[in-house]
């Protein structure tokens, strides 16, 4: 297994460009199932989760040509299966994003029930309840979800209990090819939802209100393949901005929309960072000691849960005490135990983490608990005394392309160890 070794104390400065958003690309790939033919996705991140989604599409019968490492040419005309097996869903729960597209195209789907993961139960009850309202009949058979549309998908009003990103996406994709109008109430508003809605509209869908809490879809009878560029990854960008905030900066991150990270930028300014917003770029610099500040994660445009771990590292060396509240996932604080090994002083009380800032962290061997926690531990190593080795970095490789080379380009003393 590989590990990342980082030597603390090197100032970071320079410019790094982020890739396309993992949390959009995976759904755009799934959406190509709805338009038989050859679609072309550009600015696709070259990460392991994308490779797994490629396996899912190929298992269904699609062909995928990797034109260059960031361009996928996907032909879904040959797709004749609607079965996504456990071994693929178990590798990546986002495989469930094929549910809506398969139901829309075939009126059938058989997708393994996703298990939980390190950050929570990750249920899909809201996906199933919403699709049922559109006319889908579900049954569970030996761990698989079986979907069948006895008649045809019919539009209706679907209020979501919670602004679930995945449920909004599956409902949106199924509604596009349903008869009549669908209104999704309490819809997720993340930029990745807007990117998916934009591509579906380019394919011929009629969608209003993407990015607002109420999305209205006028069903159409068919979609056509398209070419689409994946939106920039705001979370990868936020991760490098957190690195610049920790290790000094100025660090400029390019290739994303600053407005997609506005709440994070405002919190980092309140924590004492210098933040300069530009055209598809942000420059950040640390101005003196980091100020402690309470954070609570919420659906977009609230503070993103995917930036919670990286921000906890900043707060662990801030001057003061604050409370980090995780409202989206039930167990997304595993980072705290690893940070404690580096000298952080964090107490977990249910959904709250009480973070007492310490003067400095000390390097130590630590284990990546999940994707964002793993990246956060590397960031902690940037400012810890001595060196830190982060193992189980396959978590990091799921969502970050060239994480080590990008940090090296900013001046970090970081390297890949094949343990």
Interface contacts to ligand EPZ, rule CB under 6 A: 22-23, 26, 94, 120-127, 162, 164-167, 305-306, 328-329, 371-372, 399
Closest contact distance (angstroms) between CB of 186 and ligand EPZ is 12
Q: State in angstroms the smallest separation of the CB of 13 from ligand EPZ.
A: 27
- What is the residue-wise DSSP string for 175-186? HHTSBSEEEEET
Closest CA to 364 of 380, 345, 348: 380
Residue 414 CA to residue 416 CA, distance in Å, equals 7
Residue 349 structure tokens: 């009380």
> Distance (Å, rounded) from C-alpha 203 to C-alpha 30?
13
The CA distance from 168 to 172, in Å, is: 6
Q: Smaller CB distance to ligand EPZ: residue 145 or 344?
A: 145
H-helix or E-strand spanning residue 342? none
CB atoms within 10 A of CB 355: 29
**Taking the complex as a whole, how short is the minimal distance between the CB of residue 244 and ligand EPZ, in angstroms?**
20
In the complex with ligand EPZ, the residue whose CB is nearer, 75 or 233, is 233
Q: How far is the CB of 385 from ligand EPZ (least distance, A)?
A: 29
Residue 75 or 144 with smaller CB distance to ligand EPZ: 144
> CA 32, CA 9: separation in Å to the nearest integer?
46
* Contact between 37 and 249 (Cβ < 8 Å): no
Report the nearest approach of ligand EPZ to the CB of residue 401 (Å). 13
Q: How many residues does the chain have?
A: 419
Q: How far is the CB of 399 from ligand EPZ (least distance, A)?
A: 5
Q: In this structure, what token pair is assigned to residue 120?
A: 């929570």
Give phi and psi for 241, each to the nearest 5: -70, -40
Q: Quick one: 166 or 248, whose CB is closer to ligand EPZ? A: 166
Instruction: Find the residue with minimal CB distance to ligand EPZ.
Output: 166
Which residue, 286 or 398, has its beta carbon nearer to ligand EPZ?
Answer: 398
Residue 130 or 357 with smaller CB distance to ligand EPZ: 130
The active-site residue, picked from 13, 83, 90, 117, is 117
Long-range residue pairs from 340-347, CB within 8 A, at least 24 positions apart, any chain: 341/365, 341/366, 342/366, 342/380, 342/381, 342/384, 342/388, 343/384, 344/316, 344/380, 345/316, 346/312, 346/316
* Closer residue to ligand EPZ, CB minimum distance, 127 or 351: 127
194 noted as active-site residue = no
Spatial neighbors of 243 by CB under 8 A, at least 6 apart, are 12, 251, 379, 382, 407, 410, 412
Q: Whole-number minimum distance, CB 351 to ligand EPZ, in Å?
A: 11
Phi-psi group of 320: left, alpha or beta (phi > 0 → left; psi -120 to 50 → alpha; rest → beta): left
Residues with catalytic roles: 117
């Amino acid at each position: 297994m590989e590990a990342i070794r980082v030597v603390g104390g090197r100032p970071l400065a320079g410019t790094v460009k982020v890739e396309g958003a993992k949390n959009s690309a995976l759904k755009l790939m799934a959406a190509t199932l709805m338009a038989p033919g050859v679609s072309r996705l550009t600015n696709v991140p070259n990460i392991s989760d994308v490779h797994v989604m490629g396996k899912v599409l190929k298992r269904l019968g699609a062909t995928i040509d990797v034109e260059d490492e960031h361009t996928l040419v996907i032909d879904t005309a040959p797709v004749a299966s609607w079965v996504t097996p456990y071994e693929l869903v178990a590798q990546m729960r986002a495989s469930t994003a094929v549910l809506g597209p398969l139901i829309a195209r075939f009126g059938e789907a058989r997708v393994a029930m996703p298990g939980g993961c390190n950050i929570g139960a990750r249920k899909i009850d809201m996906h199933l309840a919403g699709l049922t309202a559109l006319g889908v009949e579900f049954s569970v058979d030996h761990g698989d979800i079986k979907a069948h549309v006895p008649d045809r998908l019919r539009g209706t009003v679907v209020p979501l209990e919670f602004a679930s990103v995945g449920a909004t996406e599956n409902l949106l994709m199924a509604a596009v090819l349903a008869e009549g109008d669908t209104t999704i109430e309490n819809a997720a508003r993340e930029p990745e939802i807007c990117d998916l809605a934009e591509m579906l509209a380019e394919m011929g869908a009629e969608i209003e209100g993407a990015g607002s809490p109420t999305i209205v879809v006028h069903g159409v009878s068919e979609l056509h393949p398209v070419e689409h560029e994946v939106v920039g990854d705001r979370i990868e960008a936020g991760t490098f901005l957190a690195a610049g905030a920790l290790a000094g900066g100025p660090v400029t991150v390019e290739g994303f929309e600053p407005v997609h990270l506005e709440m994070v930028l405002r919190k980092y300014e309140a924590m004492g960072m210098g933040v300069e917003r530009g055209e598809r770029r942000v420059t950040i610099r640390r101005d003196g000691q980091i100020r402690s500040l309470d954070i609570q994660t919420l659906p977009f445009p609230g503070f993103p849960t995917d930036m919670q771990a990286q921000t906890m590292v900043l707060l662990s060396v801030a001057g003061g005490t604050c409370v980090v509240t995780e409202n989206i996932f039930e167990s997304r604080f595993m980072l705290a135990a690893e940070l404690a090994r580096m000298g952080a002083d964090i107490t977990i009380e249910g959904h709250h983490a009480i973070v007492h800032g310490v003067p400095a962290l000390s390097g130590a061997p630590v284990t990546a608990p999940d994707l964002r926690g793993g990246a956060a531990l590397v960031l902690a190593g940037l400012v810890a005394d001595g060196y830190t080795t982060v193992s189980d970095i396959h978590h990091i490789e799921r969502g970050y392309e060239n994480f080590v080379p990008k940090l090296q380009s900013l001046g970090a003393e970081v390297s890949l160890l094949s343990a």
